[in-house]
């Protein structure tokens, strides 16, 4: 099933119970991207669904998941954020921000060539995003116009880079351990030769983007991916000012440095490139920045494209460089040929604008850097001699070698012409023989030396002596010392063609990972940190701590920095917060006594403004507390309520009243009445009272009435 229809059954589905798939946005070699709606958060998302045949490969999926997690940790305003990743009934997916708008490919097709100001303005946020990624230890590996998105809005909206960390996936193969998923036109030489990438690989691709924005054409516009890959390694990027003379010399210098063939000649990472780009922009005048670009000549591939379909029919193709990515650019450079290819029949032309002929021997991805003094110059193209290269401006402040090499020197003369003629015959003779000649070709054989057990340097020397190319892969070993060859993919004595890549597995010693610093992290954060360090959370014990918040890690066993095998369980001690304290009973005590007792126990005292009457607790003493006696967390607050003593009543004047009436009133007020008769108390009239009228007394106070 083709990539375009492989996941069409996802349309209309609700993936993972959350994402309703609404429409197809794009198809790629690895996945299909859909517009979907996150039903949980009610927002649109871009859902990237892996092809079904790739989703069936556990190793492939595992790498996809790991790269997705890595990309999700990268937070930057110019990076398309990764929201979620998962698997649902065979669909392996990635949920990302949906950026509504165009791509840099659309800008190049509609508006290029651009002025230097417009080109640098578009490119600067791309470099900012890559600088943030490189600082986080992440390499994009697949920087191309299709992965630069321009959101809608004022001034074109935000510029965002997509697919961080998702460009490289490992698969099992008899001859290579890694397939580079990317567009041939933007692969760095080291990706072509050795299948490796580092920050300088992204810098190279940025240089090609700037070249394309300023010229409106690709630096390597060929349609045959093998030929394009060869040109990346052996030809070099054309000079800008040969194509667009109005481009300032400083801009051309920046493109040449960024897209240098040798990685060591480029800025070491995007942060360095960003500094140079901004410095360059400040150094240019407004006239230079806004220079109207002179349209470049037609795509100078120096060839006449001839389309060859699967049945062998031939027809002349358009000589125009397509604005969008052609089919061949989407081919896996280190994989099979596409079913329909476009072969290039050289007709001569501009040296810098054209594509160099294929190499005369060996395959296009020869790891030349591993062989001493045997780099073969490319055959000379036909046509008029090239003008001398423009003298380079002094790079000045750059601390690395200032510029990459241009096209390698070419020999001229009868022998070179015969070689070129032979190559052209081979290329035009047919796909099978031509492909054999480019990838194999006539060569002598060497005997594979015994290299297992040698040091890496000794093994390289032995292979170089036999004209074989070592391709080193590091792996952990519990038994073999670091730097020693563990295995080779060819047996000793085996006959190999000169220039054959021999994969060596070199020990990097036992696989060990340092226990990360976990103190102060929550248990969930500590778990993630351990997983990222290839370790796992072990036993968890609690301990009271007066300063560390409850739930945070206090210490680990083994200690921080200890080297451990992968999967080792790391025990943690987790804070239970401050130890609890006993709340003393302070009811009945004076306010000061209560404060002293509670603060001495490590508690905070709060006294209520409201006081209450109490017949038993004296005024100013604690009548109640909250919480009461018991164990609480140190530093807890205890609220006190104070007494204002018993509630008082005012004694009325009852002199001259009948005893029965006076007794009833005093008794109703809660007072105790005592009668003392004077002269027999015949009249029953109160003559005196023991408590003066208007006096406030406590309920129950005894009032003696003298009755006559």
- Active-site annotation, residues: 142
Per the CB < 8 A criterion, the answer to whether 403 and 392 are in contact is: yes
Q: How many CA atoms lie within 13 A of 445 on its CB side?
A: 6
Tokens of 651: 């004694």
Pairing of strands 569-575, 536-543: parallel
Burial 266-278 (b: 16+ CB within 10 A, else e): bbbbbbbbbebbe
Kindly list the distances between the CA atom of residue 75 and the CA atoms of 63, 128, 131, 643, 700, in Å, as whole numbers in the listed order. 21, 12, 12, 60, 78
Instruction: Please name the residues in contact with 246: beta carbons below 8 A apart, sequence gap of 6 or more.
Output: 291, 292, 293, 294
The helix/strand/coil state of 475 is strand
Count other Cβ atoms within 10 Å, centred on residue 165: 23
Classify 487 as helix, strand or coil.
strand
* Residues across the chain: 708
Concatenating the DSSP letter of every residue in 85-117 gives: EEEETTEEEEEEE---EEEHHHHHHHHPSPPHH
The CA distance from 189 to 233, in Å, is 5
- Distances from the Cα of 354 to the Cα of 127, 236, 255, 316, 532, angstroms: 29, 11, 18, 18, 47
Buried-state track 298-322, b at ≥16 Cβ within 10 A, e below 16: ebbbbbebeebeeeeeeeeeeeebe
Tokens 């002269």 -> residue? 679
Q: Find out whether the peptide bond into 290 is cis, omega within 30 degrees of 0.
A: no
Contact 583, 603 (CB under 8 A): yes
Residues contacting residue 2 through CB under 8 Å, at least 6 positions apart: none
Q: CB within 8 A of 217, min separation 6: which ones?
A: 243, 296, 299, 321
C-alpha to C-alpha distance for 650 and 696, rounded to whole angstroms: 4
Helix/strand/coil percent split, the chain, to 5 = 30, 25, 45
Could you tell me which of 379, 125, 395, 365 has the C-alpha nearest to residue 256? 395
State how far the Cα of 258 lies from the Cα of 261, in Å rounded to an integer: 9
- Opening angle at CA 212, ends 211 and 213, nearest 5: 95
Lateral strand order in the sheet of 148-151 = 101-103, 148-151, 159-161
| Among the listed residues 25, 21, 53, 26, the one whose alpha carbon sits nearest the alpha carbon of residue 37 | 21
Q: Tokens 């140190």 — which residue?
A: 634
Positions of E strands within 310-404: 314-316, 341-346
Is the backbone of residue 617 left (phi > 0), alpha (psi -120 to 50) or beta? beta
Give the C-alpha separation, 222 to 363, whole Å: 18
Give the tokens for residue 210. Answer: 């700037």
Name the pairing type of β-strands 604-607 and 637-642: parallel
CA distances to 448, 459, 515, 539, 560 from 571, in Å: 49, 42, 11, 5, 11
Which of 164, 198, 143 has the alpha carbon at shortest distance from 70?
164
């Amino acid at each position: 099933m083709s990539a375009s229809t492989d996941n069409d059954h996802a349309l209309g589905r609700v993936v993972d119970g959350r994402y309703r798939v609404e429409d197809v946005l794009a198809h790629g070699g690895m996945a299909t991207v859909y517009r979907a709606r996150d039903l949980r958060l009610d927002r649109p998302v871009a859902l990237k669904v892996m092809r079904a045949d790739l989703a069936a490969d556990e190793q492939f999926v595992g790498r996809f998941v790991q790269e997705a997690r890595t990309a999700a940790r990268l937070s930057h305003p110019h990076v398309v954020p990764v929201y979620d990743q998962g698997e649902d009934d065979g669909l392996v997916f990635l949920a990302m921000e949906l950026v509504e708008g165009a791509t840099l490919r659309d800008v190049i097709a509609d508006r290029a060539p651009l002025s230097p100001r417009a080109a640098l303005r578009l490119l600067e946020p791309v470099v900012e995003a890559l600088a943030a990624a490189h600082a986080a230890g992440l390499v994009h590996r697949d920087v191309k116009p299709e992965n630069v998105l321009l959101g809608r809005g004022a001034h074109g909206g935000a510029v965002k880079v997509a697919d961080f960390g998702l460009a490289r996936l490992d698969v099992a193969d008899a001859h290579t351990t890694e397939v580079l998923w990317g567009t041939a036109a933007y692969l760095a030489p080291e990706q072509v030769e050795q299948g490796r990438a580092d920050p300088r690989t992204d810098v190279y691709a940025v240089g090609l983007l700037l070249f394309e924005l300023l010229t409106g054409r690709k630096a390597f516009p060929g349609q045959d991916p093998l030929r394009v890959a060869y040109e990346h390694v052996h030809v070099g990027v054309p000079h800008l000012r040969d194509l667009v003379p109005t481009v300032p010399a400083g801009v051309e210098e920046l493109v040449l440095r960024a897209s240098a063939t040798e990685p060591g000649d480029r800025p070491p990472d995007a942060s360095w490139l960003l500094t140079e780009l901004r410095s360059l922009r400040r150094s240019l005048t407004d006239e230079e920045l806004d220079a109207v670009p002179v349209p470049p000549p037609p795509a100078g591939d120096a060839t006449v494209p001839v389309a060859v379909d699967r049945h062998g029919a031939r027809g002349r193709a358009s000589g125009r460089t397509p604005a969008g990515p052609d089919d061949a650019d989407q081919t896996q450079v280190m994989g099979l040929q596409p079913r329909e290819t476009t072969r290039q029949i050289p007709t001569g032309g501009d040296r810098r604008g054209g594509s160099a002929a294929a190499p005369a021997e060996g395959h296009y991805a020869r790891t030349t850097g591993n062989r001493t003094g045997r780099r073969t110059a490319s055959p000379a193209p036909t046509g008029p001699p090239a003008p001398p290269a423009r003298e380079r401006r002094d790079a000045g402040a750059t601390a690395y070698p200032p510029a990459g090499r241009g096209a390698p020197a070419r020999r001229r003369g009868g022998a070179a012409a015969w070689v070129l003629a032979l190559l052209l015959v081979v290329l035009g003779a047919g796909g099978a023989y031509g492909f054999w000649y480019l990838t194999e070709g006539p060569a002598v054989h060497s005997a594979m030396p015994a290299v297992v057990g040698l040091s890496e340097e000794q093994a390289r020397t032995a292979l170089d002596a036999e004209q074989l190319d070592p391709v080193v892969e590091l792996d952990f070993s519990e038994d073999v010392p670091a730097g020693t060859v563990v295995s080779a993919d060819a047996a000793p004595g085996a006959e190999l063609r000169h220039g054959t890549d021999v994969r060596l597995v070199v020990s990097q010693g036992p696989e060990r990972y340092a226990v990360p610093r976990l103190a102060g992290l929550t248990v969930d954060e500590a778990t993630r940190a351990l997983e990222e360090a290839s370790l796992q959370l072990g036993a968890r014990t609690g301990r009271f701590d007066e300063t560390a918040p409850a739930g945070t890690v206090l210490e680990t066993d083994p200690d921080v920095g200890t080297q451990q095998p992968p999967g080792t369980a790391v025990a943690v001690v987790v804070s239970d917060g401050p130890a609890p304290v006993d709340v003393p009973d302070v009811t009945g005590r004076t306010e000061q006594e209560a404060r002293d007792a509670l603060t001495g126990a490590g508690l905070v005292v709060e006294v209520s403004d409201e006081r209450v009457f109490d017949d038993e607790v004296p005024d100013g003493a604690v009548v109640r507390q909250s919480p009461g006696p018991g164990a609480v967390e140190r530093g807890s607050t205890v609220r006190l309520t104070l007494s204002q003593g018993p509630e008082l009543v005012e004694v009325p004047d009852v002199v001259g009243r009948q005893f029965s009436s006076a007794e009833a009133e005093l008794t109703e007020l809660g007072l105790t009445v005592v009668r003392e008769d004077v002269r027999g108390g015949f009249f029953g009239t109160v003559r005196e009272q023991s408590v003066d009228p208007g006096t406030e007394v406590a309920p129950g106070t005894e009032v003696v009435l003298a009755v006559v």
